[in-house]
Amino acid sequence: MIYPADTDQSTADQTRLLLVEDDRETADMLAELFSSEGYRVDVAFDGHRGLHLALGRGHQVLVVDRMLPGIDGLDLVKRLRRVGVTTRVLMLTALGELGDRVSGLDSGADDYLVKPFEVDELLARVRALHRRDLSGAEVLPLGEGQLDLQRREVRFADGRCVELSLRECALLHALADGPRTVHGRSHLRERVFPDTSADSIVDTYVYYLRRKLGREVVRTVRGSGYRMGTL
């Protein structure tokens, strides 16, 4: 099933999104939501159909429910990754325990959102995945500098380079994906440190980033979390 985007763009210029969701009422609601945002949406109601469509590699983003008939969401994503499909995947699920989130990310999903969720957050996460697809997830702009994800380093406009640890790079990547978004500490911990249950780990790595890159690189939004600052 295809939901054309509510836009004047030609199909070739539209972002194609594959939604794999077995609950038809939820699928219809999400498909209409995404199409209203300008996406050209394909819908599959089971894992087998979702896998078939995803193997066509014609989509920029996949939104996959974890609990699916035929092939579940975890297995679907694992199969795609095994054959080299690198399309960005957001996994939706009602399973929100730490182990569930870890297994979802370990399967190859790029992000994991627990139901029930806020529509604005869902759309923001899909936009972030699309930006990463467009950039090749290799280099992201940071004000007048750049974050090189492959080398795990920040390059300044004056030519200086600062090396980051794996977790420092992942945290800065999460912030840079949504530079105008205020990210809650729990959200950052779930995305960057899924093997840790203490939100304070985020504060520790924010301190490390500030020590290496300057205090303004990450801004504290009191009572809400953190957002991207300036280099």
Q: Write out the chain's pLDDT in tens, 231 residues.
A: 655 555 444 333 468 999 999 999 999 999 999 999 999 999 999 999 999 999 886 788 999 999 999 999 999 998 888 777 778 899 998 876 666 667 767 778 888 888 888 999 999 999 988 876 654 546 777 777 888 877 889 988 788 899 999 889 889 988 887 777 899 999 899 888 877 889 999 999 999 999 999 999 999 999 899 999 887
Please identify which residue in the block is written with the tokens 């699920």: 93
26 and 106 co-located in one domain:
yes
10 and 121 co-located in one domain:
yes
115 and 164 co-located in one domain:
no
111 and 178 co-located in one domain:
no
Encode pLDDT of 160-214 as tens digits: 899 999 889 889 988 887 777 899 999 899 888 877 889 999 999 999 999 999 9
CA distance 94 to 81: 23
131 and 147 co-located in one domain:
no
Task: State the maximum Cα–Cα separation within the chain, in Å, rounded to a whole number.
Answer: 54
Domain that holds residue 108: 2-135
pTM: 0.56
CB contact at 8 A, 164 and 172: yes
The phi and psi torsions of 7 (rounded to 5 degrees) equal: -155, 160
Q: In DSSP terms, which residues pair with 112 in a beta bridge? A: 91
Q: Is 202 helix (H, G, I), strand (E, B) or coil?
A: helix
37 and 124 co-located in one domain:
yes
Q: How far is CA 212 from CA 45, 168, 171, 217, 218, in A?
A: 47, 10, 13, 9, 11
126 and 29 co-located in one domain:
yes
List the structure tokens of 201.
């780990």
CATH of the domain at 209: 1.10.10.10
What's the mean pLDDT when you consider all of the chain?
84
**Number of domains observed in the structure of the chain:** 2
User: Of 135, 157, 188, which residue is a domain's last?
Assistant: 135
